[in-house]
Structure 1
């Protein structure tokens, strides 16, 4: 008797793509997971015989569910305590190998995407991160293709004006990160100052749940003293600080007994740290669990 393996469920086949789409649209791991679960419920109830292209059907479902979530999230973020930063996500090294894919999930990019209107963000993510055609996106959003082209152009221009590339190869980033961590561990203020760009800014997101800066810190002196002050607190005893690939780039992961309690990511410019983003909100660390 001949037996065949059961066909893979299209939802399982495309689950990673669906999460990746929702995460880039929302900037939060928890919301992206909720969206994927809602998409599964939609798929489970669908008449599969009427679905000619399961992948397109699922991406469309995730896109529209994410748009609905974005609208309510924007209202909630107006009441957020202190700076709002995206939820960090540990990513496999192979993601960092794909420059464009890594760029689309970087913390810096997610921060810029927050400044787009929801539909602009959806179009930008689908077009620039995943390469869907304007016609396909028009189908996902039930909008005319010329309208989608205009939205895509407007979103691309907006992002280009706000997102500056700071290129560095992985070896250089590793070297600079290790040097920076050594300077911090040694409490060497001058060594830390030497590694910060003159216009460095640091944001810390505690969400009102833990102590964090309520406003951005500007300038090497303020940023260096803040970082060293945090790392030398008694509460940091027994904490492990290590490197990890976070949102497609090498960053810093802070652990206590193996559990994440914070992370920071940053841009590099001319070998100096610029735009440091520190995440310590305990509600936004699930994506850092290995």
Structure 2
């Protein structure tokens, strides 16, 4: 499978999460503790919202950088992470589930101001692919560049209204895939943790048809962490709006990480964040 993280809060250099923590995302690319595979070396990607692109009507289109090699040995990624600062970014390291190792198959995927990244799989994808492809809105079809189930899931969610209602679109996407799998006799079709962003909000989903989903964690509030660890300098530098979502914890700081419940999704936004139950919607 894969590993990913998503950050929202005080603008920071990407290297603060990609490289510096004891169990950073780059460390996870070689030594994953909770993934299906220990090594995630089939490509990587980062997507971020530059402050200079933010205008009066929103955050502007995000920037994306992707590579097909292992993240741990990519010098360009290291240079970029050392220089780029952003208040909202996502990062992904890939372990292919069968599709080609190529740049168009690396996450995150972008459409307009939206970013999407996924850990998991559509089981029986080769059998279901035609029916799923034909359900994508004709106006979106030319935007599909790669061959992964992850990118197709993104375009199905866009078809089902992702630009207006992110949770509802993801629930309809799940329901459609499960209904299609039922018609083909494919059991336990979907395994997913997904991150979606529009530059202002960040959504994270944890779900599987078998109700035994891949790991996903969210960071505790900065206020609570400051009380637990008053001498930690990083916690003094970020705002109380800061939140990190990860496939597996970036370190062993007590009280820092909380598991996302099964079949649920969280929304990170200005003000109060939320955590809700996810309800797939069948067509």
Scaled to the shorter chain, the TM-score interval is under 0.3
Structure richer in strand, relative to its length: 2
Q: Whose Rg is larger?
A: 1
Q: Which structure shows the higher helix fraction?
A: 1
Could you state the TM-score of these two structures normalised by the residue count of structure 1? 0.23
